[in-house]
Amino acid sequence: MSLIPKLIIVTGIEASGKSFIASRLSEELNLPFFSKDIIKEKLFDSIGSKDRLWSQTLGKASLAILFQTIEELLRHGKSLIVESNFNPELAKADFENISKKFPVKFFQIICYANGQEIYRRFKERVDSGKRHPGHCDDVNLINYKDKLLKGGKFPIDISGDKVEIDTTDFSKVELSSLVSKLKFFLNDR
């Protein structure tokens, strides 16, 4: 009897540490990791970046590519980690559609932090200039200020295990117990 492929979903508000958590888990668990923003940045590099509307358009395309990648790996029985600031309502339909096509078990990791810290990180990211300019984060900082300051948790209402990680203080984030849970999850039939 073979194992059912597993999909580890790392989600949360912008600047909540999703990419950091997902990449660490990928290393610890030796699983492929795919991120909407990494795909989006490859598209910016290939076809250019313009304005906020273009960034949103490529964001939708990136999600389509991400979900196609998920489906292809699951079709071949491979487990993986995906990361994005998924819209809970839209993502619910997408993940439920996947579960109708393939046997899969979900494990969702919801990253969150205090709203003031989220805003500070996001602003620091804008000020540093290290993030790809195609994201138009300088505009996003203004447009999303209220959302960022509220912070919050944004789980996707799908079946499977869920863990919430408070990343307000990264020095207090202990991933070893999560890695242990995920190893058990990955080996469960």
**Run means of pLDDT, 10 residues per run, the chain, 189 residues:** 87 96 97 97 94 93 98 97 97 97 97 96 90 84 89 95 95 93 92
Is 1 a member of any domain? no
Q: What CATH number is attached to the domain comprising 165?
A: 3.40.50.300
The pair of three-digit structure tokens given for residue 67, joined into one six-digit string:
């979900």
Which residues have C-beta within 8 Å of that of residue 17, sequence separation ≥ 6?
111, 113, 165, 167, 170, 173
Is 189 a member of any domain? no
Count of beta carbons in the 10 Å neighbourhood of residue 31 = 18
Domain membership of residue 148 as a residue range: 6-184
- The tokens 């799908």 sit on which residue? 158
Q: Are 32 and 83 in contact (CB under 8 A)?
A: no
Report helix, strand or coil for 171: helix
Q: Tell me how far apart the alpha carbons of residues 187 and 184 are, in angstroms, rounded to a whole number.
A: 5
Is 117 a member of any domain? yes
Q: What is the per-residue pLDDT for 2? A: 61
- The tokens 């408070």 sit on which residue? 166
Q: What is the per-residue pLDDT for 3? A: 85
Whose CA is closest to 173, among 10, 50, 63?
A: 10
Q: Tell me how far apart the alpha carbons of residues 32 and 67 are, in angstroms, rounded to a whole number.
A: 14
Which residues have C-beta within 8 Å of that of residue 98, sequence separation ≥ 6?
7, 67, 70, 71, 74, 104
Q: Are 105 and 2 in contact (CB under 8 A)?
A: no
Is 159 a member of any domain? yes
When divided into structural domains, the chain yields a total of 1
pTM of the shown model:
0.95
Q: Tell me how far apart the alpha carbons of residues 150 and 159 are, in angstroms, rounded to a whole number.
A: 27
Q: What does DSSP say about strands 80-83 and 6-12: parallel, antiparallel, or unpaired?
A: parallel
